[in-house]
Chains A and B, each alone.
Chain A
Amino acid sequence: MIQHSPVLVVIIPLVTAFLIPLMGLLRKKYCIYLSVLSMLSIFVIAASIVTSLVSSGTIHYYLGGWEPPWGIEYVIDPLSSFMVILITFISLIIVVYSRRSVEKELPNNEVAFYTLFMLLITGLLGIVVTGDLFNLYVFLEIASLTAYALIAVGEKRDALVASFNYLIIGTIAACFILLGIGFLYMVTGSLNMADVSTRLPEAYGQYPKVVLAALAFFVVGLSIKVALFPLHLWLPNAYTHAPSTVSALLAALMTKVGAYVMIRIIFTVFGFSFITQITDIAPLMDILSIVGALAIIVGAVFAISQTDIKRMLAYSSVSQIGYIVLGIGLSNPIGLTGGILHILHHAFMKGCLFLAVGAIIYRTGIRDIFDFQGIGRKMPYTMLAFSIAALSMVGIPPLCGFFSKWFLVLGAIESKSWKVFFSLVILSSSLLNAGYFFRILERTWFGESPYSQRDEAPISMLLPTLTLAAGCILLGVLIFVSHPFIVSIVDTLF
C-alpha cells in the first residue's frame, strides 16, 4: 500500500467527499466524524510519505501504470512532501475545529459543507502531488470551484457578492493558467512537468515568444490565485464574509498552494537557469520582488486602516503573501528558504489567528476591533493563542515569524544588488504589523473589561487554536529541525 500513497492522499478525500452525502442520509452528525477520520488517515499517509522520501528520495507514481510522458505522473519531491504534510496537518486541525462552528454558522448545511470541504482538500492535495501540468489545472479548478461555493455559503448576503467576485477573477486566472499550459503544450508537445522542462530550451530556440507568453500567462494567472497585490481585490471580501472555518482554511492553505504552484512553475518547469537566461528580456524575478515588496507595504497599511477583524487579517494576508513572493523574487537560495519557511509559518500563524477570531465570533459575535476591549478576561486562552500568533507575525524571537524574516532579510542582503533595499522593506513591515496587532492586544489585555465571567470557547475549538499557537512557538524554537529540511527543498530547486 505504501507505494500507492501518492495517489491515496488524493483518492481518500475524494471518495470521502462522495460518501458524505450518503452518510448525511443516515445521520447528519456522522459527516464530521467521517471527515475527521479521513483527514486523520491522509495525515498518517502523508507522514509515511515524508519518512519514505527521506530514506529513498523522490517518489514517482505512474497513474494507471502509464509511463510518462504519456500517462499522468505523480511526483513527490521534497517540496511536494512538505506541502502535503502541511496541508494535511492544517486541514486536520481545521476540520476538528469546524464541528461547533459549522453547527452554528451553517445549521442544516453540514452535509453540503463537508462534501465541499473534502473536495477542496482533494484539490489542494492534488495540486501538490501531481507532476502533470494539465492535471494540475484540473485540481486547481476543483479547489477553486469548491472555494467559491464555500465562500458563498457564508451567513450574510455579502458572501454571495464576494464569492461572485472571486468566481469572476478566479476564472480569469484559471483561463490564463490554461493558456499558459496550452502554449507550452504547443511548443513542447508534452504536459509532463519534467518532460516539458527538458524540452523547453529547444522549444525556446524555435518559438521564443510563445514560451515567454506562456510564462507571462502563468505568472499573471498565479498572481491572481495567490492574491498578489495589485491583483488581490477578490481576497478581502472573500475572507471577510466566508464562514470562519473557510476563512481559516483559505488563508492558511489556499494561497499557499498558489505560491507552491508559482515556485513549481518557475523553478521546476521553466527552471532557474532559464529564468536567469531570459532576464534581459523578461526580468521576472525583479518584477516579482518589487511587486512582492509593494504588497508587503500596501497590505500592511490597508490592514492598519481596517476595523473589522477578519478584514484586517485578510489584508494582513495580502501583506504576508508579499513576503513569500519576495522570497521567490530574491532569486537566491537563502531568500527562497525564507519564502518557503514563510509558507509554513504563515499557515500556522494565520490559521491560528483566524481560528481564534472564529472562536470569538462564535461566542460573542463581535467583529469590530474596538469591541475587543477586555475580551482577554472572557476568553483568556483563545486570546492567548491569538496573542502568540500575533507576536509571531510581528516577528518577535523566538517565535516562528522571526525566522522567516531572518532568512528573507539575509537573502536580501546576500543578493548584493539593489535588492538589498528590500531588507528595509521587510523590517519596516514588522513595525506596521506591530501597528495593527497591538491595537488589539492592548484592548484585549489592558483596561476595563465589560466581562466579569470567564466564558471560553468550546474545547473542540479551543484545542485546535492552541495547537496552532503552540506550533508557532515550536516552529520557532525548533527551527534547527525544519531548517535543514527546507534547505534540502531549496537545493532541489536551484
Chain B
Amino acid sequence: MEITSIEPLLAVLVSLICAFLVVLSRKRRDIRESWTILASVVQFLIIVSMVPTVLEGDTISFEVISILPGIPLKFRVDAFGLFFGVLASFLWILTSIYSIGYIRSLQEHSQTRYFASFAVSLSSTIGIAFSANLITLFIFYEMLTFSVYPLVIHKETLRARRAGVKYLVYILSGGVVLLLAIILAYSLAGTLDFSDRGFLALEQAPKEMLQILFVLFVVGFGVKSAIMPFHSWLPTAMVAPTPVSALLHAVAVVKAGIFGIVRVIYFVFGLDLMSELGLGTPLAYFVSFTIIVASMFALTQDNLKMRLAYSTISQLSYIILGAALLTPSGLLGGVLHIAHHAFMKITLFFCAGAIYVVTHKEKVSEMNGIGKEMPLTMAAFSICAIGLIGIPPVAGFLSKWYLSLGSMEADKVFFVFVLLLSSLLNAAYFLPIIFNAFFKEPYGLGGRREAPSFILIPLIITAIVSIILCIAPEEFNPFFQMAELIWNSVV
C-alpha cells in the first residue's frame, strides 16, 4: 500500500534549512553548531518514525511537483531507501558531534562553510535515498557532488585544490554518463519511476541496447561507487578533513553510488530482466577484480587514511557483488554490508582522526605503541578492523556470511574464494596496525592521552553498534528486517 505523507520531504528539508541557519548564525559558533546537532536529531527522528510503516510492507510517497509530463519530482520511501536513510541520518548525528570536536581541536578555518556544506550533503543523501524515480535521484546526486566539493578542498592548499579538480573531473564525467543512461531509459520506457519489478522490459528494445544501457548505468554510478578503474578520485579526496572522509567518503557519497547501482539492478531492470539479459554474473566478476586489487593496493599504503580509502574501495564492491548475484542471501548480505561497512569504516576513520588530533600522526609506520597512549581509541579501531576482516562477533562477519551463502545459492563458488582471499588481504593490512599499536614500544614518552570526549564518544558508539549489529537477534535489528524486506518486494 502506498501512503501519502510529507515526511520524506521534511526529512530532506530539515538539513537544507539547517544549512541556511548555519550560515545565518556564522558569528556565534555555539549556536551554529547547535543547529547542526538539532537538525541531525530531528532528521533522524523523522526518518525513524517511518520505520514501522515501512516494516509493515507499505511505502510512503510524496509528489512535490511534476517537472515534465510523466516525470515528477517525487519521493517514495521503501525498505531499501529507508535503510539507507536511517543509516545516513544516524551517522550524521555522530559525525556532527565528532566534527565539532575535530574542527575545534584543530582550529580549522571556514568552519561555517564546512558545517553548511555538510548539511547540504546530508540533504542530498537523504534525497537520493528517498527518490521515487531516476530524475529525482539524479538531481540530488548532482547536488551531492557539488555540496561535497567545498569539503574536499577545505584545506585550500595546492594539493587540496588539485584533489578538488580530480574529484570534479571524475564525478562529473560519471554524472554525464549517468544522465545519458537516464535519458536513454526514458526514451525506451517512457517513465523513470522505480518499480519493484523494474520498469524496463524486453519488448522495449533489442537485447544489446538494454545491455549497453546497463553498462552505462554501472559506469555512471560506478564512479561514485569507486569501482576500479574509476576509483582514483577517492584516495585523492582523502585530503579532506577526517570527518568528511568518515561520513562522506565512507558512507554518504560512495554509498549513494552503490545505492544507485542496486536501485538500477532491482528497480530499473528488475530481477527477471537481469537474468534474461545475463548481466548479473559479468558484473559480479567485474567487481571481484576491484575487491582483490584494491585490497592489494591497501597493503602498500603507509598513510592510514589512504589505507582505509583503498579498503573502502574494496569493501564497496562487496555490496555490488552481493546485489549482482541476484539471490536472496546475496542481496541480503550486500545490503547489510552497506550498514555494516558504514559503521565499521566510520569508526576506523574516526580513530584515524582522533590519532591525528592528539598526535598529528598520519602514517601507519609512526603509530607503534599508540594503543598504550590511546587504548580506547585503538580498542574501537581493533574491533572494527577485525569486523572488516570478517571475524565474529563483529558485523562484518554477518555480511560476509550472507555474501558467501549468496554465492553458493547462485552456484558460483568462485566468489566464495574471492571473499576468502579478500579477507586474508584485509587481515594482512589491518592486523599489523593493531599489532604495532599494542605490542610495540611507543617512540615518545607514551602515557595515556585520549582525544577529547566529543571525538571519543562517537567512535565508541559506532564500535559498539558494529558489535550489536552482529549479535542482536533479528527481531531487534531494524536494519536486518528492512534488508530482508527488499528481497520480498522485488520477487
Query: Chain A: residues with CB nearer than 8 A to chain B?
Result: 391, 394, 396-398, 403, 405-406, 409-410, 413-414, 423-424, 427-428, 430-431, 434, 438, 442, 445-448, 477, 479-480, 483
Given contacts A427-B179, A434-B168, contact A446 B139 (CB under 8 A): no
A391 to B149, CA, bound (A): 13
Does the CB pair B176–A438 fall under 8 Å?
no
11 additional contacts (CB under 8 A) given A410-B183, A413-B184, A424-B180? A391-B146, A403-B68, A423-B180, A423-B183, A427-B180, A430-B172, A431-B176, A447-B161, A480-B66, A480-B68, A483-B69
Chain B hits for A479, CB < 8 A: 67-68
Chain B 49-81 interface mask (CB, 8 Å, partner A; 1/0): 000000000000000011111000000000000
> Would you call B68 and A446 a contact (CB within 8 A)?
no
**B392 at the binding interface (Cβ < 8 Å):** no
Does any Cβ of A come within 8 Å of B454's Cβ? no
A interface footprint on B182-226 (CB within 8 Å = 1, 0 otherwise)? 011011000000000000000000000000000000000000000
Cα–Cα distance between A353 and B269 once the two chains are bound (Å): 41
Whether the Cβ atoms of B164 and A442 lie closer than 8 Å is yes
By a CB distance below 8 angstroms, the chain B residues around A477 are: 65
* Interchain nearest-CB distance for A362 vs B (Å): 27
A-B contact pairs, 20 of them (CB 8 A): A397-B142, A398-B139, A403-B68, A405-B179, A406-B183, A409-B180, A410-B186, A410-B187, A413-B183, A413-B187, A414-B187, A430-B172, A431-B169, A434-B168, A438-B168, A442-B164, A446-B156, A480-B65, A480-B69, A483-B69
Option from A423, A442, A483 in Cβ contact (under 8 Å) with B161: A442
- A397 and chain B: residue at smallest CB distance: B139
- Chain A CB within 8 A of B393 CB: no
Partner of A446, one of B153, B177, B180: B153
| Minimum CB distance partner of B65 in chain A | A480
Interface centre among B69, B138, B179 (most CB of A within 10 A): B179
**Which 5 A-B pairs give the minimum distances between C-beta atoms?**
A397-B139, A427-B176, A413-B187, A409-B183, A447-B156
Q: Does B150 touch A at the CB level, under 8 Å?
A: yes
Q: Which residue of B lies closest to A391 (CB)?
A: B146
A interface, over-half SS: helix
Which B residues lie within 8 Å of A413 (CB)?
Answer: 183-184, 187
Measured between beta carbons, the chain A residues less than 8 angstroms from B172 are 394, 430-431, 434
| Complex Cα spacing A479 to B156, Å | 37
A353, B65: Cα distance in complex, Å: 29
Please give, as numbers and ranges, the residues of chain A lying within 8 Å of B146 by CB-CB distance: 391, 396
Residues of B within 8 A of A403 (CB): 68
Question: B4 contacts which chain A residues (CB < 8 A)?
Answer: none
Which residues of A are found within 8 Å of B135, using beta-carbon distances? 397
Across the two chains, which residue of chain B brings its CB closest to A412? B183
- In the assembled complex, the CB of B321 is this many whole angstroms from the nearest CB of chain A, namely 29
**Bound Cα distance A430, B183 (Å):** 15
The residue of chain B having its C-beta at the shortest distance from the C-beta of A487 within the complex is B69
Q: In the bound complex, how far is the Cα of B138 from the Cα of A434, in angstroms?
A: 17
Q: Which residues of B contact A397 (CB under 8 A)?
A: 135, 138-139, 142
Bound CA–CA A289/B169 (angstroms): 27
B359 at the interface (CB under 8 A from A): no
CA distance A414 to B142 in the complex (A): 25
User: Smallest Cβ distance from A161 to chain B, in angstroms?
Assistant: 36
Q: Which of A406, A414, A423 has the most CB of B within 10 A?
A: A406
Q: Which residues of A contact B184 (CB under 8 A)?
A: 413
Q: Which residues of B contact A428 (CB under 8 A)?
A: 176
B173, CB-defined interface residue at 8 Å: yes
Contact B173 A431, beta carbon cutoff 8 Å = yes
Q: Which residues of A contact B150 (CB under 8 A)?
A: 445-446
| Binary interface encoding of chain B residues 130-146 relative to chain A, with 1 for a CB under 8 A from any of its CBs, else 0 | 00000100110010001
Chain A residues positioned under 8 Å from B187 (CB to CB): 410, 413-414
CA of A397 to CA of B69, assembled, Å = 17
- Chain A contacts for B183, CB-based, 8 A: 406, 409-410, 413, 423
Complex CA distance for A423 and B213, rounded to whole angstroms: 14
Most-contacted residue by chain B among A403, A414, A424, A442 (CB, 10 A)? A442
CA separation between A414 and B187, bound complex, in Å? 7
Assess the B168–A396 pair: CB atoms within 8 A: no
Closest chain-A Cβ to B207's Cβ sits at a distance in Å of: 17
Residue of B nearest to A394 (CB): B172
| B67 surroundings in chain A (CB, below 8 A) | 398, 479-480
User: How far is A446 from B165 in the complex, measured between Cα atoms in Å?
Assistant: 13
User: How far is it, in angstroms, between the C-alpha of A423 and the C-alpha of B183 when the chains are bound?
Assistant: 10
Which residues of chain A are within 8 angstroms of B179 by Cβ–Cβ distance? 405, 409, 427
A446 CB contacts on chain B under 8 angstroms: 150, 153, 156, 161, 164
A396 to B171, CA, bound (A): 13
Name the contact of A430 in the complex, choosing from B138, B164, B168, B176 (C-beta under 8 A): B176
How long is the Cα–Cα vector from A433 to B99 in the complex, in angstroms?
34
Q: How far, in Å, is B337 (CB) from chain A's closest CB?
A: 30
With both chains docked as a complex, state the minimum distance between the C-beta of B80 and any C-beta of chain A, in angstroms.
Answer: 23
Quick one: which of A403, A438, A448 has the most chain B CB within 10 A?
A: A438
Smallest beta-carbon distance A345→chain B, Å: 14
With CB as the reference atom, state the residue of chain A lying closest to B168: A438
Q: Which residues of A contact B139 (CB under 8 A)?
A: 397-398
Nearest CB in chain B: distance from A188 CB, A? 40
B161: which A residues are within 8 A, CB to CB? 442, 446-447
Residues of chain A within 8 A (CB-CB) of B164 are 442, 446
Selected contact of B68 from candidates A423, A424, A483, CB within 8 Å:
A483
Q: Which residues of B contact A396 (CB under 8 A)?
A: 142, 146
Complex Cα distance A85/B68, Å?
22
A445 — which chain B residues lie within 8 A by C-beta? 150
CB-defined contacts of B153 to chain A, threshold 8 Å:
442, 446
The answer for the CA separation of A410 and B192 in the assembled complex, in Å, is 14
Query: Which A residues are in CB contact (< 8 Å) with B186?
Result: 410
Give Cα A397 to B142, complex, Å.
7
Min CB distance, B61 to chain A, in Å? 19
Chain B contacts of A410 at CB under 8 A?
A: 183, 186-187
Residues on B with beta carbons closer than 8 Å to the beta carbon of A406 = 68, 183
Residue on B nearest A445 in the bound complex, by CB: B150
**Chain A, residue nearest B135 (CB):** A397
**Most chain B CB neighbours (cut-off 10 Å) among A398, A428, A446:** A446
Q: Tell me how far the C-beta of A473 lies from the nearest C-beta in chain B, rounded to whole angstroms.
A: 13
Q: Which residues of chain B from 104 to 145 have any CB-CB distance to chain A below 8 Å in the complex?
A: 135, 138-139, 142
A403 nearest CB across to chain B (Å): 8
Report the Cα distance A427→B182, complex, angstroms.
Answer: 12
Residues of A contacting B68 in the complex (Cβ-Cβ under 8 angstroms): 403, 406, 479-480, 483
CB distance from B392 to the nearest CB of A (A): 44
- With both beta carbons as reference points, the residue of chain A lying nearest to B157 in the complex is identified as A447
- CA–CA, A434 to B149, complex, Å? 13
